[in-house]
A and B are shown apart, each in its own frame.
Chain A
Amino acid sequence: MMAAVAIMSVTLFVACAFFVIAAGSQAVLHYFEGRPQLNAYFKSDVIPTPQQVESIKSKLIATGLTEKIRYISKEDAFDIYKNLNKQDPLLLEAVTPGMLPASIETSAKNPADLKSIAETLRLEPGIDDVRFEEDVVINLTRWTNSLRTIGVVFVGTHVFITFLVILLIVGLKVANRKDEISVMQLMGASMGYIAAPFVWEGITYGIIGAVIAWGTVYLIILYSMGFLLTLLAGIPILPPPIVFMFQVLGGTTLLGMIIGAIGGWLAVIRFLK
């Protein structure tokens, strides 16, 4: 029984950890996607007219590639600057509203289109510089997709090995009770009746393994919270919401129960055949 619980715990730990990392990466990606991805700065001596701003907005909308467009005037930029540096009076004194450029913030429906949007904006008169976080979003998307693929392969391999171990362990128990099973069969026991205790045994391994795996993952997250907060540099995804963690527990338990039940059932079927 210890071996079955151990292998189940390892597999579910891997599955649980991959899921949490994938969900975390997805949250980071959403965070970056939700921020303005592209800033087009006007020359600092240019104050664009409302008509000019509307014309640029219309051109951007016409491309069909943009999600959100926002004009930041020199005054708005100064307010943002003040808000960001309110703890540092020296920095506040050094800058006046006239020094900061007006800008247009926009985000793309698809991060791959940022380059094309930037080209459109660079052609506009008065625009001095265009900056965008194409690499961050594209790299994060790539990382998230890779993580999912690696996770599916890694977890799939572990699930397969666990199936084999459960099949072997429950199979040994079935073999130990072969006389009893034969008598039950001759007395008219259905396959379901015979298989039920072994399936429940597999499910029990799954539940115990899931709780151990989830608890370990949660403890690791809590233990590494300080390090992770530094690593994520203010990206607000920690601590993980308790509801999310209970959803992870539910999913892990369900996965464990399915692996255990199918393993137990196959062990009996293999013997009865």
Chain B
Amino acid sequence: MITAQGLTKKFGEVVALENITFQVDDGEFVFLTGKSGSGKTTLIRLFLRDLLPSLGTLEINGVDIVKIKSNKLPTFRRDIGVVFQDFKLLNDRNVLENVSLPLMFRGINSSNILSSTKAALEMVDLWDKAQLFPAQLSGGETQRVAIARSIVARPKLLLADEPTGNLDPATAKLILKLLREVHSELKTTVIMATHNADLVNHSSLRVITLDKGKLTRDNQKGKYEE
């Protein structure tokens, strides 16, 4: 469960998020929408504890992110899968190695790493491209690899920051479909930041809308509204 209470983030004089309060239950799929600069990425970075709040509290699975000691941060982050808009795959490693990274961080033995990685790549239908390098993949395939990497360790929470931002509409729909399959199969809580109104409007899922750092709407079965 995620609980944000009066969450505020300032960068100097600039207020990126202001007094945000919401709750996301375990196993929910939530869209985080808003224009560019509305604070979506800042909120995602707070979830990852890549930033600390200026005011207010943010609890993830009962843990106040401010109280996490730096030596415990890797362990905290291992429960979170992330999909970035620009994929952030490691170009000098092949698909198999990229996807297996989160498992290696956990010190899992190599046979289990291979079986889990294979399962994740089969889920995104890319097992046949396991030996290819990121430069040899299309944009959609690269994002599917990023999704496989984010789910390979079966995290409790999956964060997707504009995962369809660089993709054509058809591929974007495919990626959303994939994320929804992951959500229903693994029962993972998914928070997907997007400003793709078409995707949101076809999904009938909860939508949290930010505008200039403020939470303006929280529609349980809502539509993309600016």
Contact = CB atoms under 8 A, between A and B. Distances in A.
A188 B88 contact: no
Contact of A183 (B80, B90, B104): B90
Nearest to B91: A180
A187 B82 contact: yes
Contacts of A161: none
Interface in A111-164: none
Contacts of B124: none
Contacts of A187: 77-78, 82, 101-102, 105, 149
Nearest to A273: B70
A190 interface: yes
Interface residues of B, number: 18
Give the 6 A-B residue pairs with the shortest CB-CB distance, closest first.
Answer: A188-B78, A188-B77, A183-B88, A190-B74, A189-B105, A188-B74
A138 to B, nearest CB: 56
A188 B105 CA distance: 7
Given A193-B104, A193-B105, A188 B90 contact: no
A140 B175 CA distance: 80
B201 interface: no
Given A179-B88, A180-B90, A186 B50 contact: yes
28 contacts: A180-B90, A183-B84, A183-B90, A184-B101, A184-B105, A185-B74, A186-B48, A186-B50, A186-B77, A186-B82, A187-B77, A187-B101, A187-B102, A187-B105, A187-B149, A188-B75, A188-B76, A188-B77, A188-B78, A188-B102, A188-B105, A188-B106, A189-B74, A189-B105, A190-B74, A190-B105, A191-B74, A193-B105
B63 to A, nearest CB: 14
Q: How large is the interface on A (under 10, 10 to 19, 20 to 34, 35 or more residues)?
A: 10 to 19
Contacts of B78: 187-188
Contacts of B50: 186
A187 B90 CA distance: 12
Interface string A182-218: 0111111111010000000000000000000000000
Nearest to B88: A183
Contacts of B77: 185-188
Interface string B135-150: 0000000000000010
Contacts of A189: 74, 101, 105
A261 to B, nearest CB: 20
Nearest to B87: A183
Given A188-B74, A188-B80, A193-B105, 19 more contacts: A179-B88, A180-B90, A183-B84, A183-B88, A184-B101, A185-B77, A186-B48, A186-B50, A187-B77, A187-B78, A187-B101, A187-B105, A187-B149, A188-B75, A188-B102, A188-B105, A189-B105, A190-B105, A193-B104
